[in-house]
Amino acid sequence: KQEVTQIPAALSVPEGENLVLNCSFTDSAIYNLQWFRQDPGKGLTSLLLIQSSQREQTSGRLNASLDKSSGRSTLYIAASQPGDSATYLCAAVSGSARQLTFGSGTQLTVLP
């Protein structure tokens, strides 16, 4: 059974810093890995999707990498802004039903 872990659980940084969020998964037989953002009391906003054959994906200030063999993914946020404050979730897609298994999230606070 797929298990996804995210470290750290919470992170507080001053505005302008670059930061890295970590995600690890136990079953490397994934179709893809996704990163989401969730604001308090809201649904999910998809940030990046990395196919199993890819090593990284970039969107603006966000860069996500994937190392399937080691079961790890990282989300790099450059030049962080207060508006980046949210919970970031990673999810591994695996199994015949292509189910998403979510990590517990990293709660990010960017201080102005």
Residues of the shown chain interacting with another protein in the complex, contacts defined by CB under 8 A: 32, 34, 36, 41-44, 46, 49, 89, 91, 93, 97-105
Shortest approach of another protein to residue 37 CB, angstroms?
A: 11
And the tokens for 70?
């080691």
If the CB atoms of residues 41 and 83 are measured against another protein, the closer one turns out to be 41
Q: How far apart are CA 59 and CA 28, in angstroms?
A: 24
Which amino acid, one-letter code, is at 49? L
Please report how close the Cβ of residue 43 comes to another protein at its closest, in angstroms: 4
For residue 32, the surrounding DSSP H or E stretch is strand 30-38
Give the residue with the Cβ less far from another protein, 3 or 67.
3
Give yes or no for a contact between 76 and 59, defined as CB atoms under 8 angstroms apart: no
Q: Shortest approach of another protein to residue 104 CB, angstroms? A: 5
- Shorter beta-carbon distance to another protein: residue 26 or 81: 26
- Terminal alpha carbon distance of the chain: 41
Report yes or no: 85 and 109 within 8 Å, Cβ to Cβ.
Answer: yes
Minimum CB separation from another protein for residue 11, in Å? Answer: 15
Q: Which is nearer to another protein, 60 or 112 (CB)?
A: 60
